[in-house]
Amino acid sequence: MMKHNLTRALIVLTLGALAAPVSAEIRTAQVTGGTVAGVAADGISVFKGIPFAAPSTGQNRWRAPQPVEPWSGVKTADRFAPGCMQDAQMMRFIGSDAGVSEDCLYLDVWTPAKTAGEKLPVMVWIYGGGFAAGATSSPTYAGKELAKLGVVQVNVAYRVGVFGFLAHPELSAESGQGSGNYGLLDQIAGLEWVKRNIAAFGGDPSNVTIFGESAGGISVSMLAASPAAKGLFQRAISESGGSFAPPRTGAAGAAGENVPTLAVAEAAGKAFLGKLGVATLAEARALPAEDVQKAQGAGLGTGFWPVADGHVLLGDQYVLYGQGRFNDTPVLIGTNSDEGALFVRPGTTTAVFEQMVRAGYGQRADKILAAYPHATDDEASRSAQDLMRDSLFAWPTWAWARLQSARGRNKAFVYYFDHRTPQSPNGATHAAELGYVFRTLDARGGTPRPEDTATSELMSRYWTNFAKTGDPNGPGLPEWPAFDEKGQRVMVFDGDSGAQPVPNLKKLEAMDAYFAWRRENAAPH
């Protein structure tokens, strides 16, 4: 009797197993260089630390990314690669314990696909960090939650600081195409890898969205105008990023001008080699990476930035858009309400604010002062933060939206993130939207409030809808109108999210007049 019951039980278990759905994930993939093996959990396959270029060490330092070195057997892709060389404190700041290395050109993939060939939309993340820091391994950027919404997420590493953006006459002669944009070339190499390999992970190489924040968002803007990136993406999302000011033609630069001309960048590169105590490029390449990093200094103020080299970056992006010379795709772009708070400490007095504006804004200083209240020290402190927000983030985004809607065939969708929390009662600070977009609000500890979770659900669905179709709208979501010069309506994310007129429009118009004046009076180069 016991034997009979046991046999029947085994039959029931076997039939149940056969009837149960079989869990299928992509566990291995054949990519450029060899085979990689990832890990799967909760229906999402994750591959970390896949090389997309050769190590950027030795002779490859300050060189365009070189082809991947093939490997034999199966490479286990279950842990993040080190971040690119930078101040180690910045890695701790973003919550990563991956460490840093000059050998850093790796990417990570999260996919919900069960088999190759599903042709899911692909979202390629480009991290921020002032072009001086950042890594793919921040818990905030984890792709698991966006993958659950039906996209393949790829995080691409790129060189930062002096390793990513040193220009020098020897380097320009060596390449024959200028120098100083190795970090951007890394991003382009990552996109080329995606085009060749993402189908093995169930992604669609013909439906790629690039998205980034801060320096990553500025990178997205630069790629949108770079002939070197043509055809590598079909949609673009920029959070707090844009590059539409005239190139910087002097060592110091005017307010809002960050991209140096090649001549300016090469001069800075020669000075840096002098600081290293070397006379030639060969000597600089022979130095340990740690010595080069030490000479650069700590923090984000490295002084190294992408360069108007005439190859990757052709020049003034505002002018290029006016001429129709850009990679025309749908764009979803926006800024946060209190971005400047991260960069300007409270306490700016009326006198200091006036001095700052007159030093940076030349003959347009009176117009800027008129647009930014500063009669009292409290007003001046607030305006100092707002001016930083507008010159670095809000005006470039507004200019981009206007140019895209006027010159492009594809639509621009613009947002203004003003979701406030007990920690940020005066507005949304720089990078505050990231956890909402990635649905990783709990990545750094703490418990999200219901209103935080609701905003995250809204934003993540808009972002992934856009990746799927080029339009963020979808069932059950508030209507997000496309931006146009006449209506200028943007999606405001706050306690009652919906479309509204552009906030701070008068300030943006004053900033626009300032940059137009700078452009008209730009020094020849």
Q: How far is CA 417 from the centre of its chain?
A: 17
Could you please report the per-residue DSSP string of 172-184? Answer: HHHHSS--S-HHH
Structure tokens at 502: 């552009």
379-415 as b/e, with b when 16 or more CB fall inside 10 Å? ebbbbbbbbbbbbbbbbbbbbbbbbbbeebeebbbbb
The amino acid at 433: E
Distances (CA, A) of 220 to 147, 212, 235, 403, 405: 21, 6, 10, 15, 17
Distances (CA, A) of 300 to 35, 324, 340, 364: 37, 34, 16, 29
Structure tokens at 486: 């006449």
CB atoms within 10 A of CB 294: 12
For strands 44-51 and 106-111, give the pairing: antiparallel
Catalytic site includes residue 430: yes
176: phi then psi, degrees, rounded to nearest 5: 75, 5
Segment (H or E) for 31: strand 28-31
H helices of 117-231, where? 144-147, 161-165, 169-175, 182-197, 215-224
Give the integer Cα–Cα distance in Å for 463 and 451: 18
Give the integer Cα–Cα distance in Å for 466 and 179: 34
From the list 213, 257, 339, 433, the catalytic residue is 339
Q: How far is CA 343 from the centre of its chain?
A: 18
From the list 240, 430, 456, 497, the catalytic residue is 430
Structure tokens at 250: 């002097």
From the list 179, 214, 238, 391, the catalytic residue is 214
Segment (H or E) for 100: strand 100-101
Structure tokens at 8: 């029947």
Active site residues: 214, 339, 430
